[in-house]
Structure 1
Amino acid sequence: MNPQDTGRRTEAKAVPSGERGATRIADRVVAKIASQAAREALEAPPPNSAPPNATVVTYHETARVRVSLELRYPSDIGGQCAAVRRHVAERVGTLAGLHVSEVAVQVERLHLAHAHDAAQGRTR
């Protein structure tokens, strides 16, 4: 080990945190985290449905998230949307280190459960 290297490491530790720079996570990366979190929160996504899609706007350390998804019907739509909001806020906060001020869930489409069963040749 070079003695000069040790001196440089000591100097790097002495720099105040405000002067060292910052890490910025791109909005599209946070949107991918939010999309994956929404997918994790859904109990059973409808077959042949589009995966959840998220858009994110960040300002300083705060994120606003909008998630579009498709759900089964009949089901507890409000309960599923609440679960998605909670999970997306928690995962974005944990993985990206951002405060999530808002998670708006937009249900794009409802898939009828019996329509899928009929297409499979089953009847009730």
Structure 2
Amino acid sequence: MTTPVGHRATPSEAPADVRGLPAQRPGGTSPGDAARSAAPARRVRPAVPAERRGRTDIPERVVSRIAARAAGEVARVREVRERGPLTFTGRTRATVDGDLTALRLEVSVEYPAPLRQLTEAVRRHVADRVALLTGLHIGHIDIAVTGVVPPPPEDGP
């Protein structure tokens, strides 16, 4: 039978804190204080403002995909035509100029739907989502309603 052996610090070892650094001794000094006091203190540079750190470019294709997904999240919107690998005539388009964006969406909606209220809801939701996810400002959103489709059949009792 074996007995677990615990490790105890000997008087020559300095105890370590949770991060593995030497712990402070009761007098407020640690083993390396003398060496650190001789070294000059390093100056901490102030943080660089965000506008001077660099630039983030979001391609138009990414913005158009975000807009298409956001439009599809609105109730009674059935289809948003999205640019994909096999369709060369993109139905969802984004034009990005600096931080200003213009969008064009083609959607199919459920019949009967109040088109004016539905397109306003799509416009608000898409603008909010694109601004939240990309940080771009939305100049305007053109929405073309390209079709109306019957509502999905309800399951019977």
Report the TM-score, using the length of structure 1 for normalisation.
Answer: 0.70
> 1:51 Cα shift?
3.3
Tell me the distance in 1 between the aligned counterparts of 2:47 and 2:115: 53
Correspondence for 1:51: 80
- Structure 1 unaligned segments of length 5 or more: list them: 1-6, 118-124
| Cα distance in structure 2, aligned partners of 1:69 and 1:88 | 13
Cα distance in 1 between the residues matched to 2:48 and 2:107: 46
1:24 to 16, 38, 57: 57
Q: Which has the higher contact order (CA 8 A, sep 6+)?
A: 1
C-alpha contact (below 8 Å) 2:111/2:148 kept by paired residues: yes
Q: CA deviation at 1:20?
A: 2.9
Q: Please say which structure displays the higher CA radius of gyration.
A: 2
Could you tell me which runs of 5 or more consecutive residues in structure 2 were left unpaired when the two chains were aligned.
1-41, 83-91
Question: Sequence identity of aligned pairs in percent?
Answer: 31
Compare the two structures and name the one with the higher helix fraction.
Answer: 1
Give, in whole Å, the separation in 2 of the partners of 1:72 and 1:17: 44
Matching residue within 92, 98, 104 for 2:130: 92
Q: Is 1:110 the equivalent of 2:148? A: yes
Alignment length, in residue pairs? 104
The two structures, once aligned, show a CA RMSD in angstroms of 2.5
Provide the residue aligned with 1:4 in structure 2. Answer: none
Label 1:14 to 1:52 Cα distance change in 2 as closer, same or farther (>3 A): same
Match of 1:34 among 29, 54, 67: 67
TM-score under structure 2 length normalisation: 0.57
